[in-house]
Amino acid sequence: MKIMSLDRLLMLQLLYSFAGVMYNVGSLLALRNELPAWAPTDPVMGAGAMSLVGLFVAAGLLQNLALYRVLMAIAVVLAGYGGVVAHLLNIGHLELYHSVWTWAGAIGVNSFGLVLNLIAALGWFSRSSAP
């Protein structure tokens, strides 16, 4: 099953990585302005993890698809547990978040990435962007 081209997948994964970094930058800026963090995740560690996912995408950009798929399997665990499940488990502790919107945003961004990373890890992409 091929869901999208590798080119589109890589572009969307870079967008996911950038969105995750920007979410954590926003959280860090909130902390520096003496406001609550957007999420209980340490924003520097969060930005680092999202940057790491961006580096994982480099294997796909370099056409090393075996390594890319292995790294995406690791990214599935990172985004799935740390990015989605961990935040969902905090539903009874929304005081840990700046707002319900930042809680939902963390789940939304990471759910988007989880789907993309699953597509990559399972090889559900075509090498060409031609229809």
Query: What digits encode the pLDDT tens for the residues 92-124?
Result: 999 999 999 999 999 999 999 999 999 999 999
Would residue 40 count as lying in a domain?
yes
Would residue 131 count as lying in a domain?
no
Does residue 127 register a pLDDT over 90?
no
**One-character DSSP codes across 38-98:** SSSS-HHHHHHHHHHHHHHHHHHHTT-HHHHHHHHHHHHHIIIIIIIIHHHHGGGGGGGSS
Comparing 114 with 131, the larger pLDDT belongs to 114
Q: Which sign, positive or negative, has the C-alpha torsion 123, 75, 52, 24?
A: positive
- Mean predicted confidence (pLDDT) in 58-68: 95
- Mean predicted confidence (pLDDT) in 58-85: 94
Would residue 113 count as lying in a domain?
yes
Mean model confidence pLDDT for the chain: 93
Contact 71, 56 (CB under 8 A): yes
Would residue 36 count as lying in a domain?
yes
Domain of residue 78, residue span: 4-126
Number of domains in the chain: 1
> In whole angstroms, what is the distance from residue 60 CA to residue 53 CA?
12
Would residue 120 count as lying in a domain?
yes
Would residue 33 count as lying in a domain?
yes
**pTM > 0.75: yes or no:** yes
Kindly tell me the burial class for residue 69, based on how many C-beta atoms sit within 10 Å of its own C-beta (0-12, 13-18, 19 or more).
Answer: middle
Does residue 129 register a pLDDT over 80?
no
- Confidence band, pLDDT 50/70/90 cuts, at residue 82: confident
For residue 126, what are its two tokens? 């075509």
pLDDT at residue 83, as a whole number: 87
Would residue 42 count as lying in a domain?
yes
Would residue 97 count as lying in a domain?
yes
